[in-house]
Amino acid sequence: MMNQIVQGVLLGGYYALIACGLSFMFSVMRIINLAHGSLAVLSAFALWLLASRFHISPFLGLLVVLPLMAAIGWALQHFLLERSARGGALLPILTTFGLAIVIDNLLFEQFGADTRSLAPFIGSLSYDSWEWPGSLYVGKLAVIIFITAVVLLGGLQLFLTRTGLGRSIRATSEDPDTAGIVGVDARRSMAIAAAIAMVTVGLAGAFLGMRATFDPYAGATQLLFAFEAAVIGGAGSLWGTLIGGIVLALAQTLGARIHPQGFLIGGHVAFLIVLFIRLYTSGLGLRGLLRLSTRKAS
Amino acid sequence: MSLLSAEDLVVRHGLLQAVRGVSFSLERGETLALVGANGAGKTTLLRAIAGAHQAASGRVAFDGDDLSGVPSHERVRKGIALVPEGRRLFVQMTVEENLLLGRTAGRPGDWSVERVLDTFPNLKPRRHAKAGHLSGGEQQATAIGRALMSNPDLLLLDEVSLGLSPLVVDRVYASLQGLIGSGTTIILVEQDLNRALSVSDKVICMLEGRIVLAGDSKSVSRDEVTKAYFGLHRKGAGGVPA
């Protein structure tokens, strides 16, 4: 049981990492990026291409891919999200949904349906483990991913609270009009925030490729995990995202212990329970929710 | 050369023309009181000067530069700072963080967090408190301090006494007197006519988007301003300050 808890917590680090960008974009830019998973898979494919064609280690490849992802984030905000946001809250969601379809199909067109992995390019790291007291075996890669998630989330928190640029991003998020009259370039702040979010997505994509296999349509599953972790942790809270990731992973581990097919179901059940508790404590309640949906339908 | 000039400025809110062909100029170091009833267009005029509201036509020039199409954050960089109506603080941030945001434009000058706290001593113990937890007077002091942190050449103050107790208003104005004395150019939107006339060099009264009275604060009587305020002023009286 202890072994499963430890594995669950470490897996939670990966979920926190994949949810980090989604949560950051939501909290800062008020955008739910449905292309989040597809962009992570795009990053994994870019690293795979560098590794298989040019024999560049995925860790070194990050030096190329992460700036590229930052540039993609900046361009996305500047040319797509900012314009679509002018059309209301729903339009950016539909835009990112469309973007996800475009990315998935472009990857399929380019790489075919074969599954790939970055594991062959990182030596024994993908399966090496440490033995901890009590006959616990923890994967080295899982520990690296967990530490990366903690450092990344802590770093983002520090960046937002301790730097001028971080304060500008928070101010723009809270009130873009007032941010402008105190001297903040709101467009630049949002473009930088999008670039930062894409760097975290790129990192998550790299670890996705190292710890598992991926294919052009793997983005939807990653988006689902990210979304569940972000909602469980309280969308928009960076440290909450880490807790959300851990809770999701532990629920999946528990689900798998109850039934061999229960891995995903366990996570979904935890997500739904938290969602309903949040709705209930928000004062809306189940009845209110039903009344709301009935009113909308009529 | 005037520090600020507006020529035939027109600003719209959708179909409504909130500012209708307003022209005036302001010299460096002067304090202008902008008075008028609610809906007269004072706030819209200030926001148009600050770049928070785009002008439909006309021209605003600052220190010789035409500001047409210049976004609000660039205007802060040029030296224009607005203390907006309702303070508009970032309520999730602390007093210190709000003040530091005022430094974003990066203009050189003497204003620092410490100097703002010395100017508004009531903020000192609240330095690390969230802006949303402050009293009205503390919020107003923070909003003025945030604008001063950009080391502005022109300070636009919109209804700084609104919603504050008379005691707190006295305290805010005591701090403003220091700024006025230091030669800072100020445009002040104020509902309290006596106070507006007592601290300003020039006064402009607006009615339904137009200037109906303009003159030196010392030479214009309170009665004249009151009449203009309510639309009872004879057309042609007063003049647009040069």
Collect all residues of chain B within an 8 Å Cβ-Cβ radius of residue A180.
Answer: 51-52, 71-73
End-to-end CA separation in angstroms for chain B: 11
Select the residue from A181, A185, A189, A237 to test the B interface by mutation, using most B Cβ atoms within 10 A.
Answer: A181
Helix (H) or strand (E) holding B199: helix B193-199
pLDDT at A137: 86
Does residue A193 have a pLDDT over 50? yes
Alpha carbons B205 and B191: distance in angstroms, whole number: 11
Distance from CA of B230 to the nearest CA of A (A): 31
| Domain boundaries defined on chain B | 4-229
Does residue A288 have a pLDDT over 70? no
Structure tokens at A142: 């899982």
Q: Which residue of A has its CA nearest to B46?
A: A181
- A268-275: long-range pairs with CB below 8 Å, 24+: A268/A228, A270/A228, A270/A232, A271/A228, A271/A231, A271/A232, A274/A231, A274/A232, A274/A247, A275/A231
Dihedral sign from CA coordinates of A96, A66, A71, A117: negative
pLDDT at B239: 43
Nearest to A183 among B84, B92, B105 (CB): B105
Q: Indicate the pLDDT class of residue A285, thresholds 50, 70 and 90.
A: low
Q: Is B103 on the interface with A (CB under 8 A)?
A: yes
pLDDT in tens, A217-248: 999 999 999 999 999 988 667 888 999 999 99
Query: Mean pLDDT over residues A198-206, rounded?
Result: 97
Complete DSSP assignment for A242-274: HHHHHHHHHHHHHHHHH-TTHHHHHHHHHHHHH
pTM of the model: 0.86
Q: How many A/B residue pairs have CB atoms within 8 Å?
A: 66
Where is pLDDT greater, at A90 or A43?
Answer: A43
pLDDT at B129: 94
Collect all residues of chain B within an 8 Å Cβ-Cβ radius of residue A170.
Answer: 90, 92-93
Alpha carbons A80 and A276: distance in angstroms, whole number: 33
Q: Is B88 on the interface with A (CB under 8 A)?
A: yes
- Which among B81, B83, B71 has a CA at the least distance from the CA of B140? B83
Helices A2-29 and A219-233, axial angle in degrees (round to 10): 90
pLDDT in tens, B27-53: 999 999 999 988 889 999 999 999 999
Q: Indicate the pLDDT class of residue A181, thresholds 50, 70 and 90.
A: very high
Inter-chain touch A184–B101, beta carbons under 8 Å: yes
Pairing of strands B57-62, B16-26: unpaired
Inter-chain touch A164–B104, beta carbons under 8 Å: yes
Q: What angle do CA A12, A17, A22 make, to 5 degrees?
A: 115
pLDDT at B242: 37
Q: Indicate the pLDDT class of residue A291, thresholds 50, 70 and 90.
A: low
Residue whose tokens read 């962009």: A39
Percentage, residues of chain A above pLDDT 90: 71
Phi and psi at residue A152, to the nearest 5°: -65, -50
Does residue A128 have a pLDDT over 60? yes
Taking residue B54's Cβ as centre, other Cβ atoms within 10 Å add up to: 13
Inter-chain touch A174–B51, beta carbons under 8 Å: no
**Prediction ipTM score:** 0.86
Nearest to B88 among A178, A184, A186 (CB): A178
Nearest to A181 among B72, B93, B97 (CB): B72
Inter-chain touch A183–B73, beta carbons under 8 Å: yes
Collect all residues of chain B within an 8 Å Cβ-Cβ radius of residue A181.
Answer: 50-52, 72-73, 76, 81-82, 84, 88
Inter-chain touch B93–A182, beta carbons under 8 Å: no
pLDDT at B238: 44
Does residue A294 have a pLDDT over 60? no
- Which among B165, B160, B193, B191 has a CA at the least distance from the CA of B177? B160
CB A37 within 8 A of CB A204: no
Q: Is B70 on the interface with A (CB under 8 A)?
A: no
Q: Which residue of B has its CA nearest to A188?
A: B73
Task: Walk me through the domains of chain A, giving residue ranges and CATH numbers.
Answer: 2-263 (1.10.3470)
Tens digit of pLDDT at every position of chain B (242 positions): 789 999 999 999 888 889 999 999 999 999 999 999 888 899 999 999 999 999 999 999 999 899 988 999 999 999 999 999 888 999 999 999 999 999 988 788 889 999 999 888 889 999 999 999 998 889 998 999 999 999 999 999 998 888 777 887 887 788 788 788 777 899 999 888 888 888 899 999 999 999 998 989 888 888 888 888 887 765 544 444 43
Helix (H, G, I), strand (E, B) or coil at A4: helix
Distance from CA of B178 to the nearest CA of A (A): 22
pLDDT at B119: 86
Q: Indicate the pLDDT class of residue A200, thresholds 50, 70 and 90.
A: very high
Residue B206 β-bridge partners:
B36, B211
Residue whose tokens read 């006494």: B161
Inter-chain touch B76–A175, beta carbons under 8 Å: no
Alpha carbons B100 and B149: distance in angstroms, whole number: 7
Q: Is B152 on the interface with A (CB under 8 A)?
A: no
Task: Please list the alpha-helical segments (H only) found in chain A.
Answer: 2-29, 36-54, 58-76, 82-85, 90-111, 140-162, 164-174, 176-181, 186-211, 219-233, 238-258, 262-281, 285-297
Nearest to A167 among B84, B91, B101 (CB): B101
Show Cβ contacts of residue A130 under 8 Å, excluding neighbours closer than 6 positions.
Answer: A137, A138, A140, A143
Dihedral sign from CA coordinates of A196, A199, A205, A207: negative
Give Cα B177 to chain centroid, integer Å: 14
Architecture per CATH, domain B4-229, reads as 3-Layer(aba) Sandwich (3.40)
Q: Indicate the pLDDT class of residue A69, thresholds 50, 70 and 90.
A: very high
